Each structure stands twice: as C-alpha cells, then as structure tokens.
Amino acid sequence: MDIDDTGHNLRMAVLAAFCTVLLVGVAAADGALPLFDAHIHYNRVDWQQFPPSTVLTLWREAGVSGALVSSTPDDGTLKLYQEAPERVIPFSRPYRSPADRRNWFANPEVVAYVAQRLQRGLYRGIGEFHLSDGQFGTAQIKQLVELAAERDIVLYAHCDAATVRGLYALNPKAKILWAHAGMDTSVHTITTMLERFPTLMAELSVRQRDIAPEGHLNPQWRALFLRYPERFMVGIDTSRASRWQSYVQLAQEHRRWLQQLPGNIAEKIAHGNAERYFATGAIGK
C-alpha cells in the first residue's frame, strides 16, 4: 500500500468520524446555532500564543462544530488536525513562510511544496491563497489548478471576480471556494458568479458589517441567500491575534444575522453546507 492509499484510507475514516460529530451538532452552552468556521489560519505566531488546547476551548465556547484550517507554514494545520481530526478539514496553503505571499504564484518551488504535502492524502484543498487579476496565467498556477482537478480537491482563493473567471478558464471542472465572497465584491456580481459557475462556493468571513450593517440583514444579501442557500459558508478568518482574542464575539456576529433568515436556510449557511460539501464534495455534482 503506497502513501496515497494510506492517506486515502485515513482520510475516509476521519471523514466518517467528522460527519458523526457534525450530524450530532456541537453548539454553544446556551444551545446556540452551531457554526462551521470555514476560514481558520493557524500560523506559527498563532500556535505560539494559542496552543491547540486553547483553540479547542474557543471552539467550544463559540459553538464551532468544525473548521477549515490552513496555515503558514503548513505545520500549524497538522497540529490542529492531530489534536481534533474529527473537527478539522485541512487545506494545504502554498506559503512556506510569509515571504511567499509576494510571489508564490510564479515560484516553481511552491508547486513542488504543495504537491509534496498533498501526498499525505489528508488535504481537502489548496489555499487559502491570494491572487490578483493578471497573476493566474503563470505556469505555476496552471499546474496548481491541474493538480487540484486531478485530485478532485478545492481551490480556496482570495481574489476578485476576474481572477475566479481566470481560474475557471484554466479548467472548467475546478472547484473553487471564494474567500470573503470576493471581499468587497457587490451582491450583484456575486449573484452573477454563482449563476455562471455551479462549482463555486462563497465563504463569508469579514463580511458581517456588509451583510448586516448595524446588525440588520441587508435586503440584497437576504435575497441572495434565499436564492442560493446551499452556496455559502461562514468563517471568522483568524489572520491575526486580535481575531483569536475576539473569536467568540465574532462567532456571535454571524449568528445575529443568520437568525434573521428562515431557520432551515440559517442552518445550511451556518454549518450544513460545509458538512455536506466536505463530506461528499456535492457542490456541482
């Protein structure tokens, strides 16, 4: 049995446990709506300040049932995965150090690094990575997109709409998770993108104040969620220490706007879509 087979078998066993945990549901102590956090970074500076046991405590207090984790370097993702494999969906981030963020998309060493990490058979995607319009035409990005397509894993892209279109042009079969739903992308553009690309999912970290200014759900966002209730996930984005420190509060911010949606739709966006997506890869199939 080679390393890919071993990793595949382990991943399937962990996914079974993961689904069991999520189907039961892990809510906050007050019975709040469970959340799946689709945007966790656990970088070197994070694990030095917040050991895995602290992260698990925060998840429990925030009612987080599972998490998509990536890190710089990748060792942080493995630390959390080893601590709680039933809750962690590991993604391989193509940043060996913070310096890689500047030119990773044109560095042949990065593709080799990601390919080597993927041999473990544990990762469900590549990213989160930052990419701008005009950067997706390099040989390295083409190789990365093909690598993801061959392994049927997700590309987790922090980018604008033009770059999403560029990634799909490289391989229409790609599966893309769109970080922050494009960050400052308009509701109209997000709607158009979801309509055009059936394998596109959108993650909503750092969009709370746009989605629900002053705590009130924006009617345009509400209409978008009602139209595409199975295409969104929530996230907190622990990109800096202050977001770990306010983690429980940020989770509550998501709950406040989710509670203004019909219950079945709120549950899908809060945790159900992620459970289904990472258990079966169902989007677009």
Which band of pLDDT confidence, cut at 50, 70 and 90, is reported for residue 14? very low
Task: Return the bridge partners of 177, or none.
Answer: 156, 201
Lowest-pLDDT range of 20-29, 52-61, 111-120, 273-282:
20-29
Give residue limits of the domains in the chain.
Answer: 3-280
Q: Which two tokens stand for residue 190?
A: 């997000």
pLDDT at 10 over 80: no
CA distances from 228 to 70, 114, 190, 247 (A): 26, 32, 11, 27
CA geometry: angle 227, 201, 80, nearest 5 deg: 135
Helices 187-196 and 161-170 pack at an angle, to 10 degrees, of 10
- The count of residues in the chain is 285
User: Which of 1.10.150.20, 2.40.50.100, 3.40.50.10860, 3.20.20.140 is the CATH number of 3-280?
Assistant: 3.20.20.140
Closest CA to 177 of 107, 235, 96: 235
Average per-residue pLDDT for the chain: 89
Model pLDDT, residue 136: 86
CA distances from 229 to 147, 191, 215, 262 (A): 29, 12, 20, 10
pLDDT at 83 over 90: yes
On whether the CB atoms of residues 155 and 126 are closer than 8 A, the answer is: yes
On whether the CB atoms of residues 174 and 148 are closer than 8 A, the answer is: yes
Percent of the chain's residues with pLDDT above 90: 81
Which band of pLDDT confidence, cut at 50, 70 and 90, is reported for residue 41? very high
Phi/psi of residue 162, nearest 5 degrees: -60, -35
3-state secondary structure of 38: strand
pLDDT digits (tens, 9 = 90+) for 197-215: 999 999 999 999 999 999 9
On whether the CB atoms of residues 137 and 130 are closer than 8 A, the answer is: no
Which band of pLDDT confidence, cut at 50, 70 and 90, is reported for residue 228? very high
Quick one: how far is CA 62 from the chain centroid?
18
Cα(157)–Cα(176) distance, integer angstroms: 7
Closest CA to 239 of 76, 108, 32, 102: 76
